[in-house]
Structure 1
Amino acid sequence: MSPSVKGEKYKKLIVAVSIIIPVAVAALFKVKIPGYDLSFLPPIYAGINAATAILLVIAVVAIKNKKQILHETLMKVCIGLSICFLVMYVAYHITSETTHFGGQGGIRIVYFVLLITHIVLSVAIIPLVLFTYVRAWSGDFVRHRRLAKFTFPLWLYVAVTGVVVYLMLSPYYK
């Protein structure tokens, strides 16, 4: 079985997961479970975003230096961190009131541009990461590299802007 055929069998699953996660997260924003104080989570998941960004860069350096095992391990860690981020993010938002950005003027525009692009790309990055991973896992390294060149900067942007959005919003947390 060729690598591309091997990877194709996951296409429907990746598409399904890529739809289910954002829809579930959006739906959960309407759910509020009172009685839990998870206000400690935002700096933790911002830290997870920062760690993901750093590890993504190290992983790219590793593969450029032909350290495939290190690269593979770091990418798995980045995926694991992203899953941890998602769980904490949802847990915080279903137990806490929404925090609104209080800045005014030009900084408010910067904040919303970063926030909107972060949200849109965080949805788009789900299938990109999964398809990129499956292509490597199935041994389809030509298509993996081609997609990774597109996936990496977007994933890095999502991770970095997650930290920046947190830092801009942090003075307004209760």
Structure 2
Amino acid sequence: MNKEIKKYNKWIVTLSIAIPLVVAILFRVKIDATLPIFLPPIYATLNAFTAVILIIAFWAIKNKKVVLHEKLMKTAILFSVLFLVMYVAYHMTSESTKFEGEGALKIFYFIILISHIVLSIAVIPFVLITYVRAITNNIELHKKIARITFPLWLYVAITGVLVYLMISPYY
């Protein structure tokens, strides 16, 4: 393993641990401020755009449109980062909204929510490793991990929208 990849691996491990920890810590921090806009529909839209971009990027690479694929993947990463910043900002300035549905709908909601949260943490190292393998031109290993990263990331993006849609009547 060359020196550049070792350097990236340290960042991947650091970010994969730090991001969930920082988010968990910031969730406990409450700022007495009112945001000028209501963020949940905005960050849910970012999740929807991320899902669409991931699908188009998949199509692009299958059709050998490598430059388009690269641009789309960088955009998907940017949208995911923007989502995370807005999500944390919202939860630092607002109380969490409780889901008030009942019965099977409540069970379905919590299955989606819990799987979304768990996989949103798990997907971080996958996205980072996939990206590093691409930028270091390790394309065969990039393809191998992208086969795992793509469905995980797509699931997280889609379930983020579903969670928003299911809880939006209760805001």
Matches within 5 A, 1:124-139: 124-139=122-137
Q: Deviations over 1:141-162 (max 9, x none)?
A: 0000000000000000000000
Alpha-carbon separation, structure 2, partners of 1:108 and 1:134: 39
Find the residue that maps to 1:101 and give its secondary structure: coil
* Displacement after TM superposition at 1:37 (Å): 3.3
Give yes or no for the alignment of 1:60 onto 2:19: no
* Displacement after TM superposition at 1:39 (Å): 5.8
Question: Which segments of structure 1 move beyond 2 Å, counting only runs of 4 or more?
Answer: 4-9
Alpha-carbon separation, structure 2, partners of 1:15 and 1:31: 25
Read off the aligned partner of 1:116 and give its amino acid letter. I
Tell me if structure 2 keeps the 8 A contact 1:38–1:96. no
**Structure 1 residue runs without a partner (length 5+):** none
Alpha-carbon separation, structure 1, partners of 2:33 and 2:60: 45
Read off the aligned partner of 2:45 and give its amino acid letter. G
Tell me if structure 2 keeps the 8 A contact 1:38–1:91. no
Q: Deviations over 1:103-145 (max 9, x none)?
A: 0000000000000000000001111000000001000000000
Aligned residue in 2 for 1:30: 28
Q: CA RMSD in A?
A: 1.0
Find the residue that maps to 1:9 and give its secondary structure: helix
Aligned residue in 2 for 1:12: 10
Aligned residue in 1 for 2:78: 80
Alpha-carbon separation, structure 1, partners of 2:37 and 2:30: 14
Matches within 5 A, 1:109-148: 109-148=107-146
Change (3 A) 1:108 1:38: farther
* Displacement after TM superposition at 1:47 (Å): 0.1
* Displacement after TM superposition at 1:35 (Å): 2.5
Find the residue that maps to 1:37 and give its secondary structure: coil
Change (3 A) 1:128 1:31: same
Alpha-carbon separation, structure 1, partners of 2:164 and 2:112: 11
Find the residue that maps to 1:29 and give its secondary structure: helix
**Structure 2 residue runs without a partner (length 5+):** none
TM-score (ref. length: structure 1): 0.95
What's the % identity of the aligned pairs? 60
Give yes or no for the alignment of 1:152 onto 2:155: no
Matches within 5 A, 1:41-56: 41-56=39-54
Find the residue that maps to 1:163 and give its secondary structure: helix
Find the residue that maps to 2:98 and give its secondary structure: coil
Alpha-carbon separation, structure 1, partners of 2:137 and 2:12: 17
Alpha-carbon separation, structure 2, partners of 1:7 and 1:57: 28
